[in-house]
Amino acid sequence: MAKASWASTTPSSGSGNGTVNVGASTHTGRSQRQTSLTYKASGVTDISQAVTQEAKAEYVSIDNISVGKGGGSVTVTGKSNSSKLKFTLGTGAVVATLPTNYSAGGASTANDVAITGDPGTTAEYNFSITLTAAANTTTAARSQTLTVTATGGQSAQSTLSQAAGDPTLSVSPASITLTAAGTPVSVTVTSNTNWTVE
């Protein structure tokens, strides 16, 4: 086995007694990886040395995101090395819809289904999921939580923040006629904020 590109030796040659520092690039996969080094010198048998790099613990991380008051599609991104991810909406006032699929390592993957090829075994991958949020019809900013859970139970939470909607006010009917006796007529007021009649 030739030395893998992730392994490094400093120095790579010498004379007489010496010390070689063996290092490696950061490993983000959840399975350990192996390679071998071959020490050579003229007139002697080559010496092979096994090198093993420990795996990174299974993990998942996700970013926070915001959406405008008008709602629409918003994409949340993150990283993981898990073999499967499960997305769930938590408590919150933003009316959002989860899609059936999300993207893991550039490939479309169903929610809570094993990722084809299991890329996380060798390296972390980027993932993204696109939510659809309804317009905010209130005058208060609001939020919603999105939780992503890895196969091993590790989880991360994203906060979806939405800007406050515009104040609205309408009355029906647009005009009224009162009797000579002044009998009250009901007018329907529709609003999402405080109002007065003057």
**pLDDT tens-digit readout, 122-147:** 999 999 999 999 999 999 999 999 99
Domains and CATH numbers, the chain: 7-53 (no CATH), 60-162 (2.60.40.10)
Give the mean pLDDT of 39-65: 97
Q: How far apart are CA 90 and CA 145, in angstroms?
A: 5
**pLDDT value at residue 91:** 84
Q: Where are the beta strands (DSSP E) in 84-154?
A: 85-92, 96-97, 101-104, 107-110, 125-133, 142-150
Q: How many CB atoms lie within 10 A of CB 130?
A: 13
Side chain identity, residue 173: P
Give this prediction's pTM. 0.85
Q: Does residue 1 carry a pLDDT above 80?
A: no
Question: pLDDT per residue over 75-103, tens digit each?
Answer: 999 999 999 999 999 988 999 999 999 99
Query: Is the pLDDT assigned to residue 31 strictly greater than 90?
Result: yes
